[in-house]
């Protein structure tokens, strides 16, 4: 019965309906750099993709090895993706709040993190 209903819908319409489905999008860290020398890109990716897999957009860089740690964000892209509903992972949320880019979040000192 269910299959008959889908066959009555034109193929083009089914494609547009599938494209309209929402996809969970996350902001997370993508590991780059050499062995024992990590550098991370802050990327926007589908939540189902692997840590270093496909991504939609690059919104920043994080280098934990420099002193002080280097953090750079493209603020326009970050605000755009947050407004579109992208959910930051916990490490990215901490970086964004330290940079003052996360609305309603106070900066968190690293000594405050357990």
Superfamily of domain 24-112, CATH level 4: Ribosomal protein S16 (3.30.1320.10)
Residue ranges per structural domain of the chain: 24-112
Burial grade of 37 (CB within 10 A; 0-12, 13-18, 19 or more): exposed
Whether the per-residue pLDDT at 46 is higher than 90: the answer is no
Question: Mind listing the pLDDT tens digit for each residue in 78-114?
Answer: 999 999 889 999 999 999 999 988 876 555 555 454 4
Q: How far apart are CA 61 and CA 41, in angstroms?
A: 4
pTM: 0.69
């Amino acid at each position: 019965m269910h299959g008959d209903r889908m066959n009555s819908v034109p193929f083009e319409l089914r494609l547009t309906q599938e494209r309209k489905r929402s996809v969970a999008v996350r902001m997370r860290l993508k590991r780059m750099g050499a062995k024992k020398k990590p550098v991370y890109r802050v990327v926007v990716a589908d939540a189902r993709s692997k840590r270093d897999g496909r991504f939609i957009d690059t919104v920043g860089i994080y280098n934990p090895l420099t002193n002080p740690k280097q953090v750079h964000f493209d603020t326009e892209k970050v605000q755009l993706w947050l407004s579109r509903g992208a959910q930051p992972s916990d490490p990215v949320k901490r970086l964004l709040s330290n940079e003052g880019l996360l609305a309603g979040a106070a900066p968190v000192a690293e000594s405050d993190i357990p």
